[in-house]
Chain A
């Protein structure tokens, strides 16, 4: 009976939803209020912070954006592009796009059109000042004519357009504005071609943007406000209270279940993060394959992920996440099996015996280590795994650290040799995390396998997708077989959005309120 009532309730809710959907049509006007944690400057090239990138995305346009459905590039300021040959790209720039006017640099009615020269200037400035992103090995950027830009790379580089962290990050900035305001001044007075113009910027309080009346698309919104709310819990309370409309990223999936039940709020999923257990493969005892292998067999990852993460994430068998161009490799699952008995046998095989305190030991050295982690859902997952290890006689513990401490510790070699392994949106996470050229920076595994390096290098130069995919997945397979890391799960990312907001697209390499794919409007 209860079940029946619930399904009736759901049916009624769906009916009500479809009724409201037909009753409301897109409309012009209104204000969208977005919560933010920290915005200190708005130079789009000088930040890695999501909030700053989101706010800057209103003012500036990129050449293309990463599409909302399939994560493929979609035209924006560039109407089209093509690969002339393996190392040459040509981008056709949209005609008639004007820089924002009514400011110190371009007085009202005196803005100028964006040309290929502006794109060249922007890419060159990006190469020079961006600390958070890199475009790879670019040999030249030139304007072929007023609306055509040619980019030449040293080697074939398919990731230039498919990876969200490469050319998709380059927005067009006018040289006059940077020169007029200076580098520091431009960060407070951003002028671009985007759908909204910055009206006011009060640090730690409010940023106000108003509709760009001359935009090349027709934005529905009149005004966008970025509202300062540094505490993530208060951010979601503020959506419930109607003080803001959107929290662009939900950092704590623990609150997803509760938010799903909250009337008036919708959760928009997109992308997420890879989370695993990483090893520094040069630190004893993890420099021995058998130790890493035994740990992978000793932990019941499925149970831990089911208990903590699902349905807001799922088990991972490799690093390549479902939201990049590469395919999922179904054969990876075979590499991982939960078999505590065999784990013990592996450890006994390399000389570990049970000590008087029940802890496995070798030459008087107990098998004892602390897993270093930062805050997040993984703390609860790892707690479960640590408990399983201890039951087996492995004296594991969890050590939670501040992000800056954790980052430095991992980069300088991490004395305990085992850590929470993490990567975010990028297509090339596998390269960042496991290629030996990144040792001591993003490769905190200090994993160095010439075969893997060669495969990743080759894939990065391979234009043909099928072949690139094959090479990439082969590299992933080798890394996983070597147990450089034990993948645990992919956690999904969410925006928390009030139901008065429509056509929201979760930010991915930038926040796009108005594009060829969507146009956000509010009731």
Chain B
């Protein structure tokens, strides 16, 4: 198990290098660059901008730039932001924990909604409870999350004034303050995943409920609740965990938007601004961290299988 995990971690290195290469090439060939943006300003100081271009090595061909970048990367240096002139690593690690908190919280929200709702739907197959759950699932997937975020923000932040509309809470002000800031973004980000997982839970539960051992359990006179949760749900969890793990990538992507709506100081916002400004080193750093994060979560998901299903073993 341990050696398996280590092997998987080592295998990440070439993947990350590949990702670094692909993003670098993509960005280099995509139209628009930071220097051109500066040159477009009506009052621009052309001589100083051209000097900056040379100082930052942006006048070199892209493969030379990539070679230099790679050298820095292997020394653990993510470079310096073009716009803020601050080290990229500092900027990323200030914000990364905030994004992690947000995505994990929304994963928790999604599971807290999806599992009970999906089980309820399966238990009430083709009855009102089922329709209600599937209605939610449909709505949750259909609503764009930036729109849902704005609606929640206007209702709970502006009209009812129950929750803060922006920013991250401070733990120094107490856990309640921190959580009150987290609720809206986590619910917004978690809703579409909750919808997907609700559907999935319902369908796998329906399959499992048809299985022989469930019928046997029922025939033995096990209480319906115990049949549902102890016998059926545990087996239905496996595809749920896979999907939740795979969807973590989507959560990271969604965080980019949700962080903007809720002024959440995370990595998503940093990347959005970097993309707008064509701040290549910051973009590159953020993509690498996102990718690494996704790979770690995938590994974690695989390891979790073994914990949930004793029939799976890694050697």
Chain A residues proximal to chain B, CB less than 8 Å: 38, 40-41, 46, 48, 128-134, 165-166, 183-184, 187-188, 202-206, 227-231, 233-234, 237-238, 240-241, 243, 402-411, 423-424, 426, 428-429, 432-433, 441-442
Contact present for B42 and A411 (CB under 8 Å): no
Say whether B254 faces chain A, with CB atoms less than 8 Å apart: no
- Which of B37, B154, B276 lies in contact with A237, CB distance below 8 A? B154
Contact present for A184 and B165 (CB under 8 Å): no
Contact present for A231 and B265 (CB under 8 Å): no
Contact present for A204 and B270 (CB under 8 Å): yes
* Residues from chain B with Cβ under 8 Å of A166 in the complex: 43
Contact present for B260 and A411 (CB under 8 Å): no
A129 to B52, CA, bound (A): 9
Closest to A422 in B: B42
What band does the interface of chain B fall in when counting residues whose beta carbon is under 8 Å from A? 35 or more
Contact present for A432 and B158 (CB under 8 Å): no
* Residues from chain B with Cβ under 8 Å of A408 in the complex: 31-33, 36
Say whether B273 faces chain A, with CB atoms less than 8 Å apart: yes
Known: A132-B45, A203-B94, A411-B40. A404 touches B166 (CB 8 A): no
Known: A165-B43, A230-B260, A407-B32. A130 touches B165 (CB 8 A): no
Say whether B38 faces chain A, with CB atoms less than 8 Å apart: yes
Chain B window 33-50, contacts with chain A (Cβ cutoff 8 Å), 1 for yes, 0 for no: 110111111111110110
Contact present for A426 and B86 (CB under 8 Å): no
A402 to B52, CA, bound (A): 23
* Residues from chain B with Cβ under 8 Å of A206 in the complex: 167
15 further interface pairs, Cβ-Cβ under 8 Å (given A131-B48, A204-B269, A233-B150): A130-B48, A131-B38, A131-B44, A131-B49, A132-B44, A132-B45, A184-B86, A187-B86, A230-B269, A241-B157, A241-B161, A404-B34, A405-B30, A428-B43, A442-B41
Contact present for A411 and B36 (CB under 8 Å): yes
Q: Which 9 A-B pairs have the closest CB atoms?
A: A404-B32, A40-B84, A204-B265, A165-B43, A407-B40, A134-B45, A432-B42, A408-B36, A405-B32
Say whether B208 faces chain A, with CB atoms less than 8 Å apart: no
A234 to B167, CA, bound (A): 11
Say whether B85 faces chain A, with CB atoms less than 8 Å apart: yes
* Residues from chain A with Cβ under 8 Å of B153 in the complex: 234, 237
Contact present for A237 and B157 (CB under 8 Å): yes
* Residues from chain A with Cβ under 8 Å of B39 in the complex: 407, 411, 441-442
Contact present for B43 and A432 (CB under 8 Å): yes
* Residues from chain B with Cβ under 8 Å of A131 in the complex: 38, 44-45, 48-49, 52
* Residues from chain B with Cβ under 8 Å of A442 in the complex: 39-42, 44
* Residues from chain B with Cβ under 8 Å of A423 in the complex: 42
Closest to A166 in B: B43
Known: A128-B48, A407-B37. A227 touches B166 (CB 8 A): yes
The 30 sampled A-B contact pairs (Cβ below 8 Å) are A38-B273, A41-B85, A130-B45, A131-B52, A132-B43, A133-B43, A184-B86, A187-B85, A202-B265, A229-B166, A230-B269, A230-B273, A231-B260, A234-B261, A237-B158, A237-B165, A241-B158, A243-B164, A243-B165, A402-B32, A403-B37, A404-B33, A404-B36, A404-B276, A405-B31, A407-B39, A408-B32, A410-B40, A426-B42, A441-B46
* Residues from chain B with Cβ under 8 Å of A132 in the complex: 38, 41, 43-45
Closest to B170 in A: A205
A489 to B263, CA, bound (A): 33
A128 to B45, CA, bound (A): 10
Closest to B272 in A: A230
* Residues from chain B with Cβ under 8 Å of A38 in the complex: 273
Contact present for A231 and B263 (CB under 8 Å): yes
Contact present for A228 and B167 (CB under 8 Å): yes
Closest to B278 in A: A404
Closest to B34 in A: A404
Chain B residues proximal to chain A, CB less than 8 Å: 30-34, 36-46, 48-49, 52, 81, 83-86, 91, 94-95, 150, 153-154, 157-158, 161, 164-168, 260-263, 265, 269-270, 272-273, 276-278
* Residues from chain A with Cβ under 8 Å of B158 in the complex: 237, 240-241
Of the candidates A243, A405, A408, A429, the one having the most CB atoms from chain B within 10 angstroms of its own CB is: A408
Of the candidates B33, B39, B48, B157, the one having the most CB atoms from chain A within 10 angstroms of its own CB is: B48
* Residues from chain A with Cβ under 8 Å of B44 in the complex: 131-134, 441-442
* Residues from chain A with Cβ under 8 Å of B94 in the complex: 203
* Residues from chain A with Cβ under 8 Å of B276 in the complex: 402-404
Known: A131-B49, A204-B270. A234 touches B85 (CB 8 A): no
Known: A231-B263, A404-B276. A41 touches B86 (CB 8 A): yes
- Which of A40, A228, A441 lies in contact with B86, CB distance below 8 A? A40
Q: How far is the CB of B230 from chain A (nearest CB, A)?
A: 45
Q: How far is the CB of A277 from chain B (nearest CB, A)?
A: 17
A188 to B94, CA, bound (A): 15
Known: A404-B276, A411-B39. A133 touches B45 (CB 8 A): yes
Q: How far is the CB of B282 from chain A (nearest CB, A)?
A: 10
Contact present for A228 and B38 (CB under 8 Å): no
Q: How far is the CB of B200 from chain A (nearest CB, A)?
A: 32
A404 to B41, CA, bound (A): 12
Contact present for A238 and B166 (CB under 8 Å): yes
A129 to B167, CA, bound (A): 33
Contact present for B165 and A238 (CB under 8 Å): yes
A432 to B166, CA, bound (A): 39
- Which of A203, A402, A406, A409 lies in contact with B265, CB distance below 8 A? A203
Known: A38-B273, A165-B43, A405-B32. A129 touches B48 (CB 8 A): yes
Q: How far is the CB of A510 from chain B (nearest CB, A)?
A: 14
Contact present for A205 and B36 (CB under 8 Å): no
Contact present for A41 and B84 (CB under 8 Å): yes
* Residues from chain B with Cβ under 8 Å of A41 in the complex: 84-86
A407 to B34, CA, bound (A): 10
Q: How far is the CB of B25 from chain A (nearest CB, A)?
A: 17
Of the candidates B34, B49, B167, the one having the most CB atoms from chain A within 10 angstroms of its own CB is: B167
A228 to B165, CA, bound (A): 12
Closest to A432 in B: B42
Known: A40-B81, A187-B85, A204-B95. A134 touches B166 (CB 8 A): no
Q: How far is the CB of B265 from chain A (nearest CB, A)?
A: 4
* Residues from chain A with Cβ under 8 Å of B277 in the complex: 404
Q: How far is the CB of A42 from chain B (nearest CB, A)?
A: 10
Contact present for A48 and B40 (CB under 8 Å): no
* Residues from chain A with Cβ under 8 Å of B261 in the complex: 231, 234
Contact present for A404 and B31 (CB under 8 Å): yes
Contact present for A241 and B32 (CB under 8 Å): no
* Residues from chain B with Cβ under 8 Å of A46 in the complex: 85
A429 to B276, CA, bound (A): 24
Q: How far is the CB of A419 from chain B (nearest CB, A)?
A: 12
Closest to B158 in A: A241
A229 to B157, CA, bound (A): 14
Of the candidates A38, A204, A433, the one having the most CB atoms from chain B within 10 angstroms of its own CB is: A204
* Residues from chain A with Cβ under 8 Å of B30 in the complex: 405
* Residues from chain A with Cβ under 8 Å of B95 in the complex: 204
* Residues from chain B with Cβ under 8 Å of A129 in the complex: 48
A196 to B33, CA, bound (A): 35
Contact present for B167 and A205 (CB under 8 Å): yes
Contact present for B43 and A229 (CB under 8 Å): no
Contact present for B165 and A241 (CB under 8 Å): yes
* Residues from chain A with Cβ under 8 Å of B32 in the complex: 402-408
